[in-house]
Chains A and B, each alone.
Chain A
Amino acid sequence: MPMLDLISSTGVAPNDVEPALFDAAVNQDIDALHLPNDADLSDYLDALPRVKSIFVDFPAFTDGRGFSLARLLRHRHGYEGLLVADGQLIPDQFAFALQCGFDAVRVKRSERERHTAEAWQAALDAFDVTYQRGYAVKAGPATSIFDARLTAAEANKTTDPFSA
């Protein structure tokens, strides 16, 4: 179950690293790395094993760059730590965020009066199926349509003595 309110409202933990301070963090473990959505990931690749969590900034919910960044971190660069979509998302994007590799979304407390935890959860339940097979996730659209078709076709092939 993805958490919504990850960090206390004070925000940044003691050894959080903003991009500007990244170079000073050589050889340290990094609790939280904050990335703008136009980050050049090659700057951070060496450090990824030392990073426990990454917060990708969503400056506006209409700006979808963070989705691609998450995909790259997870699939091209093998990042396995906590990955958080941080900023102006709306519940209707929750499933997309998880499908692209985020573990959670962090939104401002003030936003959560309009977009309640229930609304976020309900948005996850909107779809059980997805056409993008590598983007199927347990919490959200869990079934790849193309895989399900294949399974159904295979099931039809097996000879069932009880079927007419």
Chain B
Amino acid sequence: MYRYDEFDAEFVNARVAQFRDQVERRLDGRLSEAEFRPLRLMNGLYLQLHAYMLRVAVPYGTLRSEQLRMLAHLADKYDKGYGHVTTRQNMQFNWPVLGDVPDMLADLASVEMHAIQTSGNCIRNVTCDPYAGAAADEIEDPRPLAELLRQWSMLHPEFSFLPRKFKIAVTGAPTHDRAMVRAHDIGIEVVRGPSGEVGYHIIVGGGLGRTPIIGETLRAFCPKDELLPYLDATMRVYNRFGRRDNKYKARIKILVRETGIEEFRFLVDEEFKALDASDIMVSQAERDRIAAYFAPPEYASDIKALDLEAQPEAFRKWVETNVHTHVQPGYAIVNISLKDPERAPGDITAEQMRAVADLADKHSFGEIRTTHQQNMVLAHVRQDELRAVWDGLVAAQLEDANINLIGDIICCPGMDFCALATARSIPVAQKIAERFNDHARQQAIGEMQIKISGCINACGHHHVGHIGILGLEKAGVEFYQVTLGGDATQTARVGDRTGKGLSEAELIDGIERIVDRYMDVREGNERFLDTYQRLGAETFKEALYADA
């Protein structure tokens, strides 16, 4: 993992001091709330329904064990004993007091962490494939790229007051996109060029929110050394021409759509040709320096085969659902589900964070990942230590075997926390998880992604859920709209809206009928998504509204 050098450390410490000063100026009135707002947002501090919320950056979803322990410390000291993993791989604390926030940031800086650009109209914390560096299907580990982007985007003097927020995601595995690169303002895939050299496929203008759009190719192949200048050119076109008259039309996807991808590409190319690349380019030596931090760990070769037959059934089920193939023979990728039906999706207690940190130290080179599906990952676990990891997870009540199954629901905070929400989302997620609590049934249903947003801003990614749920409100009554057939991967697709909204009770029953219908009509090992694509929406719509 990347380690700060003296300059990174100086930068982040200066940022903490700057924010402390900004808070003082806000408290004594020198900064108005209107002036303070964008400044605090750029430091990850929101004002929510009940309190401030601090969103801590987990750059490209990667944590060292001592960093996770620090998050546990923050949860205990400044919050109510838990944190929340977000769909952009960050960790949120829902109950801090404004005066404590500078101290929280100082605590974070002591372990090379920060909350910079986790919010606001700037380039946000970059997200990444959680299996980076461990996946068998990747062309190259995308984390060095993500770290370079982190540094490039930190307090960029020109691009800190953009028309709207700007989200970048990267993946090194274009054939199995686990980073949703087509649903981001810019998505970057590591690809091979015409003569086999490694470079980047740049996708622009994707996004969910009120106007879901799947991103389009801006540049099919960008050589590595041209990436930062090319991104600068793209950002400059957006900063100048992105709409500022209407915040709901201010994302780059609207600019790309209104300009047309051809014309937009022309503008970027013109800018790219004219700019001085040396302003922003980084040398090969520097890229190598960063990449060296992400060298593969020292794998062992004396790993004994795991005799699953001799293991308890619960463990075998967990292996089947939560453990993923690793690039290194003898190793495995372990997914830790944060989808206990009793908790909000993505919530994790301080005690559990410490348990995961300990497991990472013992079994995964001290490293932890967070995922956009609001789970965690131990990326490099010896197969003969899987049982020990599972035992540790059982002790911490983190053994839910539901990764990618119907219980693995993505969900925004909704009305329970968020000032923008129009409906509750967490209780809906919990009720669905409860309804399908039986593991054998979940397993039989197979891969199924339910995603829930509590308002049209779509933080719960409902547009790209196999089943998407959108919570709305009319005359004080919450209701839920269902979309079907969304896809968040390399075959990204926005789901189809089914029809009129349903009450919460109707919704849960309707979803169960959709699932039952799918079980009746599927062929072979078809996933729900495959069956939906084969048969179309009608039969599932009929099932959804059968009772209405």
Contacts and interface: CB of A to CB of B under 8 A. Distances in A.
Interface in B102-138: 121
B291 to A, nearest CB: 14
B157 A95 contact: yes
B316 to A, nearest CB: 48
For chain A, the bracket of interface size reads: 35 or more
A1 to B, nearest CB: 19
Contacts of A65: 239-240, 244
Given A71-B236, A132-B156, A134-B278, A64 B11 contact: no
B276 A61 contact: no
B480 to A, nearest CB: 34
Interface in A114-164: 114-115, 119, 122, 126-135, 143, 145-146, 148-150, 153
A156 B17 CA distance: 31
Nearest to B8: A145
Contact of B10 (A38, A129, A135): A129
A15 interface: no
Contact of A150 (B22, B276, B286): B286
B14 interface: yes
Contact of B155 (A68, A128, A130, A134): A130
B286 to A, nearest CB: 6
Nearest to B7: A145
Contact of A133 (B11, B25, B279): B279
A119 to B, nearest CB: 7
A100 interface: yes
Interface residues of B, number: 46
A4 interface: no
Contacts of A153: 285, 289
Given A75-B279, A145-B151, A100 B158 contact: yes
A127 B31 CA distance: 20
A67 interface: yes
A75 B275 contact: yes
A150 B274 contact: no
B286 A135 contact: no
A interface, by DSSP: helix, strand, loop or mixed?
helix
B266 to A, nearest CB: 15
Nearest to B154: A131
A62 interface: yes
B280 to A, nearest CB: 6
Interface in A58-79: 61-65, 67-69, 71-72, 75-76
A141 B473 CA distance: 48
Interface in A14-41: 38
A126 B162 CA distance: 22
A145 B11 contact: yes
Contact of B280 (A99, A126, A133): A133
A63 B15 CA distance: 22
Contact of A129 (B11, B25, B29, B240): B11
A61 B161 contact: yes
Interface in B467-496: none
The 5 closest A-B pairs by CB, nearest first: A134-B279, A64-B161, A99-B157, A96-B157, A145-B7
5 contacts: A67-B161, A75-B276, A95-B157, A126-B17, A131-B152
Interface of B: 5, 7-8, 10-11, 14-15, 17-18, 21-22, 25, 29-32, 35, 38-39, 121, 151-152, 154-162, 236, 239-240, 244, 274-276, 278-280, 282-283, 285-286, 289
Given A61-B38, A100-B157, A149-B5, 11 more contacts: A61-B35, A64-B158, A64-B239, A68-B240, A75-B276, A92-B18, A114-B32, A126-B21, A127-B14, A149-B289, A150-B286
